[in-house]
C-alpha cells in the first residue's frame, strides 16, 4: 500500500514537472522572435557574415527541443489524466453497483450516465490541465513586457486588442456554457423518458399507444436538436473568434510596426519580433477564460463525485454472510413514498413477518407502491425508514451473490440479457445447465425451449422485440429468477404476458412449492392469490390483514386440458 504522504509527494512532483516544462517551453518560445530580430537587424545588412549558419542551427535545435518538451509534457498530462480517470471510475462504478437502485432511483436512472462525464472532467483537472493553463498564463506579463520594451505604442495597441478579444470570447463562452447546461438537462430528460418507456414497454404495447409515445419522444428529440443547433452555432462562433483575434493582433502589430518604421522608432527586426510575440498572447489568455467559465462546472463535478464516493457503502458484490435456507423474512417499520407529477403518496408503518412455507398475497390501489414494496422486501431498494431482514440478517449486509441465491423477485417485465437462452437461464454460468433445466422442467418450460430450432442455444438480443414469443420470454425470466432455488419467492404480477399453457404451469408450480418456500404474490388474478394463507391490503398507514379473503386449496391442474 502506498501511503498518503508518498502519494502527495508524487502529485507535487508531477505538478512541479508540468509547471517547469511549461515555463521552459515559454522561454524557448522567445528564441524565435529574438532570432528574427537578429536576422533582420544584423544578418541581412551583412549577408556574408558567418553568424547566419550558427543562428539557423541554434534556432532549429531550439525548435526541436521545444517540440520534444511539448510532446513529453502532453504524454505526461495524458497519462496522469488516464490514471486519475481509472482511479475515480473504479470506485464510482462500484458505488453505483453497490448502491443499487436506491441511489440511482432518487436522482433518476439517467443520472448514472452523467456521473462518468463528471469523472472525466475531474480527471482532466487532476491530470494537470489547470496547472498547465495557469503556468502559461503566468508568462503572459513577460511577453507583454517585452512588447512594451520593444515598442510602447505596439504594447498599448496589442493590450487594447487583447482586452477586446477576451471580452468577446468571455461573452460567447458564457453563452455556450449556458447552452451546454440546457443541453445536459434536456439530454437527461430524454434518457429518463427512454428508460421509463423501456420499463413499461409491455404495458405500452398492450394498450397500443406506441404512436403516442413515439410522438412524445419526437418532442423531446426536437427540443434537444434545437438546443444542440444553437450550441453548435455558439461553438463555431467561439472558434472563429479565436482565429480572428490572432489575425487581428497580427494586423495591429503590422500597422503599429509600419508606423514605427516610418517614424524611425522601430526597425524591421523589431516589427517581426512584435508580430511573433503578439501571436503568443491570445492562446493562453483564451484558455484561461475557458477555464474561468468552466470553473463552476468543475466545482460542481468535484462536489458530485465527492458526494457519490462519500455515500454510505452499499452491499458487497460477493463478500458477506451466507444465508440459511429457512425462508424467513421480516420487515419492521417500513416507510417509503411514491412521487408523481400530481401528488406524493406516503406509506408508513409497514410490518410483515414471514416464515418457511407462508403464502401471502398483497393487494392495493397503487401498482407503483406495490412494486416498490416488493423491491424493498427483495432487498433491491432501501426504505426511507425501517429495515428488512432475510434469515435474520439485515438486507444491506447481505452480498449481491447471496441475495440472488436466497431471494427471487419476478416482475411483469420479461427482460432478456443479450446472449442465448442458456446464458439467461444459467445466469451466465452461476448455475449449471442441468440445474437450470431442472427448474425449467418444474415450470413446464423445458419442452418449449427444446422445440426451438436451436434449443437453449437460441440467441436473444436483449432488445424490446425478441425472436421468441413474449410468453416464452416471461417464462425464461421466471426460470432465471428461480435457478438458485431460493426459499423466498416474490412474484410481482409475474403472470402478465403468459399464454394459457404458461399460466397453467405457473399455477401448478405454486401448488408444488406451497409449504416448502415462502411466497409473496401480487396479482389481480384470483386463481393465483386464492391459495394464499394470508391476504394483506397495502394502505398509507400500513399493511392491513384482509379477513374477508378465505384461503383456497391450490390444485395442480393435473386434469386440465389445454
- Going from N- to C-terminal start, the domains of the chain cover 4-309, 329-545
pLDDT at 491 over 90: yes
- The mean pLDDT of 346-372, rounded to a whole number, is 90
Closest CA to 476 of 520, 557, 422: 422
Q: Which three cell numbers stand for residue 366?
A: 397503487
User: Could you tell me the pTM of the whole model?
Assistant: 0.56
Q: How many Å apart are CA 134 and CA 128, to the nearest integer?
A: 10
Distance CA 85, CA 72 (A): 20
Backbone angles phi, psi at 514, to 5 degrees: -60, 130
State the pLDDT at residue 397.
82
Query: Burial, 332: exposed, middle or buried (Cβ in 10 Å; 0-12, 13-18, 19+)?
Result: middle
Q: What is the mean pLDDT of the chain?
A: 82
Q: Are 10 and 84 in contact (CB under 8 A)?
A: no
What percent of the chain has pLDDT above 90? Answer: 14
CATH code given to domain 4-309: 1.20.1560.10
What residue has cell string 431471494?
A: 407
Find the range with the poorest average confidence among 230-244, 248-262, 417-431.
Answer: 230-244
Determine the topology of domain 329-545 in CATH: Rossmann fold (3.40.50)
Q: Quote the cell numbers at residue 507.
A: 399455477
CB atoms within 10 A of CB 117: 12
Candidate from 175-184, 511-520, 533-542 with smallest mean pLDDT: 175-184
Residue with cell 532549429: 60
* DSSP state at residue 517: B
Q: Is the pLDDT of residue 543 over 80?
A: yes
Q: What is the mean pLDDT of residues 372-384?
A: 89
User: Does residue 3 surpass a pLDDT of 60?
Assistant: no
With 70 as the cut, is the pLDDT of residue 204 above it?
yes
Helices 111-126 and 282-309 sit at what angle, rounded to 10 degrees? 130
| Residue with more model confidence, 107 or 273 | 273
The pLDDT of residue 14: 85
Give the pLDDT band (50/70/90) at residue 373.
very high
What confidence score (pLDDT) does residue 97 get?
64
- pLDDT tier for residue 370 given thresholds of 50, 70 and 90: very high
- What's the CA gap between 207 and 224, in Å, rounded? 28
Q: Which helix (H) or strand (E) holds 204?
A: helix 201-207
Q: What is the pLDDT of residue 433?
A: 92
Amino acid at each position: 500500500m502506498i501511503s498518503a504522504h508518498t502519494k502527495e509527494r508524487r502529485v507535487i512532483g508531477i505538478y512541479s514537472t508540468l509547471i517547469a516544462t511549461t515555463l521552459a517551453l515559454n522561454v524557448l518560445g522567445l528564441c524565435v522572435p529574438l532570432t528574427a530580430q537578429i536576422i533582420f537587424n544584423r544578418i541581412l545588412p551583412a549577408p556574408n557574415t558567418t553568424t547566419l549558419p550558427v543562428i539557423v542551427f541554434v534556432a532549429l535545435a531550439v525548435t526541436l527541443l521545444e517540440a520534444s518538451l511539448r510532446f513529453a509534457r502532453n504524454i505526461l498530462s495524458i497519462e496522469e489524466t488516464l490514471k486519475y480517470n481509472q482511479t475515480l471510475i473504479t470506485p464510482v462504478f462500484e458505488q453505483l453497483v453497490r448502491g443499487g437502485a436506491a441511489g440511482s432511483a432518487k436522482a433518476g436512472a439517467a443520472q448514472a450516465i452523467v456521473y462518468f462525464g463528471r469523472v472525466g472532467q475531474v480527471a482532466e483537472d487532476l491530470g494537470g490541465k489547470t496547472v498547465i493553463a495557469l503556468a502559461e498564463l503566468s508568462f503572459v506579463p513577460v511577453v507583454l513586457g517585452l512588447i512594451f520594451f520593444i515598442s510602447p505604442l505596439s504594447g498599448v495597441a496589442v493590450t487594447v486588442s487583447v482586452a477586446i478579444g477576451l471580452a468577446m470570447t468571455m461573452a460567447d463562452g458564457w453563452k455556450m456554457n449556458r447552452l451546454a447546461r440546457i443541453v445536459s438537462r434536456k439530454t437527461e430528460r430524454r434518457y429518463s423518458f427512454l428508460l421509463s418507456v423501456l420499463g413499461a414497454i409491455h404495458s405500452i404495447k398492450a394498450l397500443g399507444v406506441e404512436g403516442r409515445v413515439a410522438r412524445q419522444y419526437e418532442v423531446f428529440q426536437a427540443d434537444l436538436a434545437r438546443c444542440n443547433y444553437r450550441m453548435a452555432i455558439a461553438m463555431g462562433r467561439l472558434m472563429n473568434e479565436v482565429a480572428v483575434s490572432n489575425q487581428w493582433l497580427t494586423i495591429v502589430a503590422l500597422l503599429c510596426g509600419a508606423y514605427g518604421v516610418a517614424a524611425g522608432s522601430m526597425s524591421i527586426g523589431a516589427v517581426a519580433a512584435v508580430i511573433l510575440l503578439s501571436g503568443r498572447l491570445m492562446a493562453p489568455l483564451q484558455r484561461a477564460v475557458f477555464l474561468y467559465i468552466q470553473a463552476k462546472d468543475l466545482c460542481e463535478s468535484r462536489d458530485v463525485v465527492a458526494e457519490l464516493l462519500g455515500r454510505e457503502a452499499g452491499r458487497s458484490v460477493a463478500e458477506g454472510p451466507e444465508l440459511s435456507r429457512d425462508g424467513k423474512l421480516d420487515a419492521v417499520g417500513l416507510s417509503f413514498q411514491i412521487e408523481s407529477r400530481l401528488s406524493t403518496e406516503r406509506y408508513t408503518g409497514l410490518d410483515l413477518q414471514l416464515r418457511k412455507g407462508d403464502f401471502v398475497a398483497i393487494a392495493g390501489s397503487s401498482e407503483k407502491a406495490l412494486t416498490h414494496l416488493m423491491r424493498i422486501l427483495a432487498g433491491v431498494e432501501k426504505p426511507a425508514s425501517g429495515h428488512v431482514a432475510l434469515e435474520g440478517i439485515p438486507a444491506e449486509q447481505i452480498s449481491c451473490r447471496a441475495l440472488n441465491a436466497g431471494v427471487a423477485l419476478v416482475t411483469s417485465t420479461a427482460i432478456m440479457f443479450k446472449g442465448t437462452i442458456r446464458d439467461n437461464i444459467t445466469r451466465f454460468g452461476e448455475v449449471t445447465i442441468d440445474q437450470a433445466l431442472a427448474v425449467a422442467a418444474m415450470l413446464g418450460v423445458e419442452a418449449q425451449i427444446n422445440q426451438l430450432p436451436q434449443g437453449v442455444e437460441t440467441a436473444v438480443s436483449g432488445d424490446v422485440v425478441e425472436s421468441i414469443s413474449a410468453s416464452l420470454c416471461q417464462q425464461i425470466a421466471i426460470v432465471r429468477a428461480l435457478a438458485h432455488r431460493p426459499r423466498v419467492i416474490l412474484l410481482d404480477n409475474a403472470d402478465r404476458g403468459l399464454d394459457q399453457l404458461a399460466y397453467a404451469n405457473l399455477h401448478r408450480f405454486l401448488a408444488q412449492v406451497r409449504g416448502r418456500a415462502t411466497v409473496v404474490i401480487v396479482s389481480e388474478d384470483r386463481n393465483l392469490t386464492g391459495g394464499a394463507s394470508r391476504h394483506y391490503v397495502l394502505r398509507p398507514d400500513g399493511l392491513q390483514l384482509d379477513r374477508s379473503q378465505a384461503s383456497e386449496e391450490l390444485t395442480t391442474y393435473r386434469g386440465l386440458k389445454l
